[in-house]
Chains A and B, each alone.
Chain A
Amino acid sequence: MPTTDTTSPAPTTDPDGRLDRELAGIDALGLAVPSAPNRAKAIWSSAWPKLLAIGIFVGAWQVVVWSHWKDPYILPGPVATFRSLVDNRATLARAAIDTLQRGALGFAIATVIGSIVGLAVAQSRVLRSGVGSMITGLQTMPSIAWFPLAIVLFHLSIWAVLFVVILGAAPSIANGLLTGIDNIPPILLRAGRVLGATGWSALRHVILPAAMPSFVGGLKQGWAFAWRSLLAGELIGAVAGTHALGQVLDADRSFSDYTGMMAAMVTIFIVGVVMDAAVFGQLDRFVRRRHGLIDTAT
């Protein structure tokens, strides 16, 4: 515990350091007793339920295959699927990277648009009553329902996919930012104003950082929408001729390579889980911890 009495700036008003000692004492008593975190234990306690869930799912899959409900050629089991996954890892990895790049581009554009719209709606009463409910409405629109319009507008091109990805992700991102700004404790805004933060500096130093936890939640949800829209778009052939995951999936189906199709689906699932948990989950945890929204004692 650092003692502060050696650096007292004013020996005149506290000659014997009594106040210094008392402050140091009450601070020591007031601080929470830190519990030593056990990293391995923490990782294990969060990992085993996930591993168990995967195990149950794979087991159920295997049971269905063993039941001979369908020919194993039509519905391959987990072992065959994972063998195909390993055999075709280069193709699938390339497809995943191809799809992720497209997703990242669409998501980046959606983030810019969603942030601008969310910010504008948060600041303007007129926009809020006009556009606010529309944003929520857009979120409920299934992304596949946008494709006919997208194809009419952009034909079967990457732009059709990006259009749908952006429409899927941007409302969630805008809503996340809007909710974040709406839920800023008023006292922080007042504190900012008293410190001299107005206009742009209030936005930069107070409003945006304060809205960050909710904004990251919006990003996480936006990515889930973007990923779904993206695969739907790839599957209907909007990006024909590329190595996208959706194309691999569709090609395997048309060539009756159902094991390959299952392997592509497992890849899509893995990429989705990794992006959600590793990327956005970590970002979420980081921001929430930074804001003191995670109880460190537990």
Chain B
Amino acid sequence: MTSALGVVERSAGAPVASHDATPPAIRINGVSKAYGHSGNAVVALDRLTLDVAPGEFVCLVGASGCGKSTLLNIVAGLDSPTQGSVEVTLGRPALMFQESALFPWLGVRRNIELALRLSKVPRNERRSRADALLEMVHLGGFGDKKPHELSGGMRQRGALARALAQRASVLLMDEPFGALDAMTRDILHDELDRLWRENGLSVLFVTHNVREAVRLGDRVVLLSSRPGRVVAEFDVDIDRPRRIDSSEIANAAAAITDRLRAEVRRHADD
């Protein structure tokens, strides 16, 4: 397959060059997750294997019930797999949610300072580092504001700054822009793109928005639903900076959406 569509589907099981060169930032190895007891267990994830290379931006897309959030929780250490293993080689990962989950009783700066404190940053460095992080996400003038005094987009940037305060080089994102209006989301894509490159982050980004996945990802991983398995992987071969409304993104997204729809159709007879 050529890259005329902007995406190249990887053949299943094909080794990837970068995997041999450096150890991955995240190694998800045959992870299964079942809820309930053996008789009527619901399998959310089924022997899912996925690596994220250092500095790579990987987007997970799938329909409802593909276990995307379950997978992120397992990688973040909030949940444990029924089978298989997860390794995060570059320190404890940071996790962002659809809501900012900033602590509402603290101002944005104090939220960041708490993250620094929990990461054992000495007291006398916290203030200056928090201010630097606020500047980084363009919230310099809003450090004293409470989360509820900010717009949704600003809260998500605050959450991003708090995640970066952990000095994590692995960032897990669970539909972080899903609740934002299209304009704000578009601008935050640019912002995340910039922060990802400047900080050399490895990102595992969950979304159900295929265009968003193509806009952001180096690679888009398509998951099946119930149980969640990797159906296909696509390398996104579009130069950055990208625009979500460009025809390249639209074409690439269409190709992936076709596969996603085929996957959804399989469930018609369930």
A→B interface (CB under 8 Å): 1-2, 4, 7, 9-10, 13-14, 19-20, 22-24, 26-27, 30-32, 187-188, 190-191, 193-197, 201, 205-206, 209-210, 212, 290-292, 296
Alpha-carbon separation in the docked complex, A32 to B187 (Å): 19
Instruction: Assess the A197–B184 pair: CB atoms within 8 A.
Output: no
Task: Name A's interface SS.
Answer: helix
CB-contact partner of A209 in B103, B136, B138, B166, under 8 A: B103
B→A interface (CB under 8 Å): 73, 76-78, 92-95, 97, 99, 101-106, 114-115, 117-119, 132, 135-136, 138-142, 146-154, 162, 166, 183-184, 187, 190-191, 194, 197-198
Alpha-carbon separation in the docked complex, A27 to B119 (Å): 29
Question: Which chain A residues border B132 with CB–CB below 8 Å?
Answer: 9
Considering the complex, give the chain A residue whose CB is closest to the CB of B184: A26
Task: Name B's interface SS.
Answer: helix
Min C-beta distance of B126 to chain A, whole Å:
14
Question: Which chain B residues border A212 with CB–CB below 8 Å?
Answer: 105
Contacts A212-B105, A290-B105 aside, 18 further interface pairs with beta carbons under 8 A come to A7-B135, A10-B194, A13-B194, A19-B187, A23-B138, A23-B187, A26-B187, A27-B138, A27-B142, A31-B151, A31-B154, A187-B99, A190-B101, A191-B102, A194-B77, A195-B114, A195-B166, A209-B106
Min C-beta distance of B132 to chain A, whole Å:
8
Alpha-carbon separation in the docked complex, A196 to B121 (Å): 13
Considering the complex, give the chain B residue whose CB is closest to the CB of A292: B148
CB-contact partner of A206 in B94, B95, B103, B187, under 8 A: B103
CB-contact partner of A195 in B115, B148, B197, B198, under 8 A: B115
Instruction: Assess the A196–B194 pair: CB atoms within 8 A.
Output: no
Question: Which chain A residues border B150 with CB–CB below 8 Å?
Answer: 30-31
Question: Which chain B residues border A188 with CB–CB below 8 Å?
Answer: 101, 103
Alpha-carbon separation in the docked complex, A205 to B140 (Å): 24
Instruction: Assess the B184–A2 pair: CB atoms within 8 A.
Output: no
Min C-beta distance of B262 to chain A, whole Å:
33
Alpha-carbon separation in the docked complex, A2 to B149 (Å): 15
Alpha-carbon separation in the docked complex, A188 to B100 (Å): 9
Considering the complex, give the chain A residue whose CB is closest to the CB of B79: A190
Question: Which chain B residues border A201 with CB–CB below 8 Å?
Answer: 118
Question: Which chain A residues border B166 with CB–CB below 8 Å?
Answer: 195-196
Q: Name the 3 nearest CB pairs between A and B, nearest first.
A: A30-B151, A2-B141, A292-B148
Min C-beta distance of B91 to chain A, whole Å:
11
Min C-beta distance of A272 to chain B, whole Å:
29
CB-contact partner of B78 in A190, A209, A210, A292, under 8 A: A190
CB-contact partner of B153 in A27, A195, A206, under 8 A: A27
Alpha-carbon separation in the docked complex, A188 to B159 (Å): 12
Instruction: Assess the B135–A9 pair: CB atoms within 8 A.
Output: yes
Instruction: Assess the A209–B105 pair: CB atoms within 8 A.
Output: yes
Question: Which chain A residues border B118 with CB–CB below 8 Å?
Answer: 195-197, 201, 205
Alpha-carbon separation in the docked complex, A220 to B184 (Å): 42
